[in-house]
Structure 1
């Protein structure tokens, strides 16, 4: 793809001052039943933020929850953050993010604030990239045009072994590089039997990731990791509660399985602690939960400085651009959730997610559908 150079004078003369901002909540039903060792995905509460600039520019951003807390995020946005945006420059996402973060010191670090900041920050980046005529993946770094995919939808904990095997084989046939299987059955041998069946079905050439969703103690995770090692598991995801950095470090030292963490971390500092402790082999930073594109890129580059790869959690329609922006991205999680509110799906070619070429975030929203699903 060739992007036409932006006219410098036009860019400088364009007024990117934010003059209006609005937020609302639209509920999306899950596309399939999703269960893990600790919870079920109830619905996607989708928090939207739209900004407009004095020069006529516009940006639409979003974040999400998996069923609770969306109203609290909207309340935080409407009670002050949206007003704080007025007069700021959409061409300066670092300045916008820092101004809003500074105004929320009393509620950081925390999920509600991060989700609110993410909805704003993605809107700012959308406006900035659209005005510049650049797709996000190019504006944020442009490392590569596509990223390998692994599938999560075929690995939920409620599936029986035959279902796991059938869906893993289907993913292999579609050219996907890996599948993620949820673990956390009452006894380790139950997980082992399921994983063994999948490995035997797909052979050694497909990556198998496992995810415990923070359900284990360090001792139990070490015991199960020893059980799983002969299966050549690609990574062991969130085995322990996210705030147990020391436990993850001990686990990482005890096993050859790479330890993946990050979907439940909400600040750059938390990632730094994991990386400095040697407690994370794969970083799974989530653009909504870290507070937007601006801090997501910082985490990705921080991981790169530790020679650690990034494989973000969920939000494939947005993360496809971010993983293509940075050089140390490893995989993109295939787990569709926006079909009900988009006019086109993410492009997949030869088992890879392809970065959008349209300016902005590259998500083709069906705004009528978004409006129909609006609840707040």
Structure 2
């Protein structure tokens, strides 16, 4: 009894000492909230319309006062489910953790959600946390994301999607492509998936005739086709010298993508609808992709995004990420196989500065952190939960 009594003060002293020696980088506050952003222009493809951007934000603060803000998104549904995953399961695990241990935190959160992985809700939640951790890491280091994530270059070629939506007329597609070309942008992307192949072909041919051979033209089917139809359309498109054929088939049709890639000279682009590094590994090992379009929100954050980018490099493939240009400009600049940034502005309502564009290239921000100039008052005004 006496030995037990004597041990108690020592145990309390040890606990107090541990609390006093916690690193200053300990996460003291973790908050998640949802902001709805109206679409900046009408956006349609072969399967859907862009309803709104549900922007899920996570703010982390450490005991020495550093604050990191990260985010992910949906295009209209599921945002509250992501928010519930964060508030009910992930954020409580963050308080008390060392914010410097980004890999360790990502793995711990992923492991704690085994029942819902691999899937969109969990990946989007993880991305909100992981991008906040990277924002903290960069701010603490006093470095911009493009350098801390690799530092390959600052300027990345830009292609425009805003002038290529499926509801636009042929004349509007041509006018948009010519405007992009005049602005010095090296590429444009056009949506395909009209009911008949001759409709797609007429639209694409008109743009190619207008801009000539020097402008890159990409096409995107948004997973709308069968293998047989995608093969038929790829054959019809081949004389137009397209840079890639994006998401021709459902993302889970690995066999179909392998067969399609073997049947056409047009590079097949996939990745925006993949939610794990292992899915990319299977596609790349099977030869099912020529362009890798990994999305930092849908893959689960910057930590797995970089793994996919480096995996693609080992297969001698280029990375052209999907959407989120304000974040992807820095990541594409960070890696040697980053080729293109997609121009679809969607954060202007809640930021105070736009992505810099010089001579058709997106310029990665050089300020410490993610490089996104958030407008906190505008964010607060648009909170929905």
TM-score (normalizing by structure 1)? 0.96
Cα distance per residue 1:337-375 (max 9 Å; x no partner): 000000000000000000101000000000100110100
1:37 partner SS = coil
SS at match of 1:97: helix
Q: Are the counterparts in 2 of residues 14 and 55 from structure 1 also a CA contact under 8 Å?
A: no
- For 1:339, the equivalent position in structure 2 comes to 348
Residue of structure 2 aligned with 1:297, choices 298, 306, 331: 306
Secondary structure at 1:289's aligned position in 2?
helix
Quote the residue 2:13 is aligned against: none
Q: Which runs of 5 or more residues in structure 1 are unaligned?
A: 1-12
Q: 1:144-155 alignment to 2 at 5 Å?
A: 144-155=153-164
Query: Are 1:216 and 2:229 matched, yes or no?
Result: no
| Cα distance in 2, alignment partners of residues 124 and 21 from structure 1 | 11
2:252 counterpart residue number: 243
- Residue 374 (structure 2) pairs with residue 358 (structure 1): no
- Find 2:62's aligned residue among 53, 76, 94: 53
Q: Which residue number in structure 2 is paired with residue 9 of structure 1? A: none
1:170 maps onto 2:175 in alignment: no
2:23 and 2:98 in contact (8 A); partners too: no
Q: How far did residue 89 of structure 1 move?
A: 1.4
- Which of the numbers 183, 188, 195 marks the counterpart of 2:192? 183
Question: How many angstroms does 1:14 deviate by?
Answer: 6.7
Q: Does 1:143 align with 2:152?
A: yes
1:157 correspondence with 2:166: yes
Structure 1 stretches of 4+ with a deviation exceeding 4 A read: none
Q: Pick from 11, 20, 34: which aligns with 1:25?
A: 34
Give the SS at the match of 1:50: strand
SS at match of 1:297: helix
User: Residue 246 of structure 1: SS of its match in structure 2?
Assistant: helix
Alignment partner of 1:111 is 2:120: yes
Is structure 2 residue 95 aligned with structure 1 residue 86? yes
Q: Distance in 2 between the 1:234 and 1:140 partners?
A: 27
1:110-138 per-residue CA deviation (whole Å, 9 max, x = no partner) reads 00000000000000000111011010010
Deviations 1:13-35 (A, max 9, x none): 97111111000000000000000
Could you say which residue in structure 1 is the equivalent of 2:212? 203
Q: Any conservation in 2 of the 1:90–1:125 contact (CA below 8 Å)? A: no
Paired position in structure 2 for 1:8: none
Contact 2:57-2:128 at 8 Å conserved across structures: yes
Equivalences, count: 365
Task: Give the number of the structure whose alpha-carbon radius of gyration is greater.
Answer: 2
Deviation string 1:46-86 (CA, Å, 9 cap, x unpaired) is 00000000111110000000000000000000002001011
Alignment of 1:228-267 (within 5 A): 228-267=237-276
Gaps of 5+ in 2: 1-21
Alignment partner of 2:297 out of 269, 284, 288: 288
Aligned-pair Cα RMSD in Å: 1.0
* TM value normalised by structure 2: 0.94
Checking the alignment, whether the CA contact within 8 Å between 2:37 and 2:52 is kept in structure 1 is: yes
Q: CA deviation at 1:92?
A: 1.7
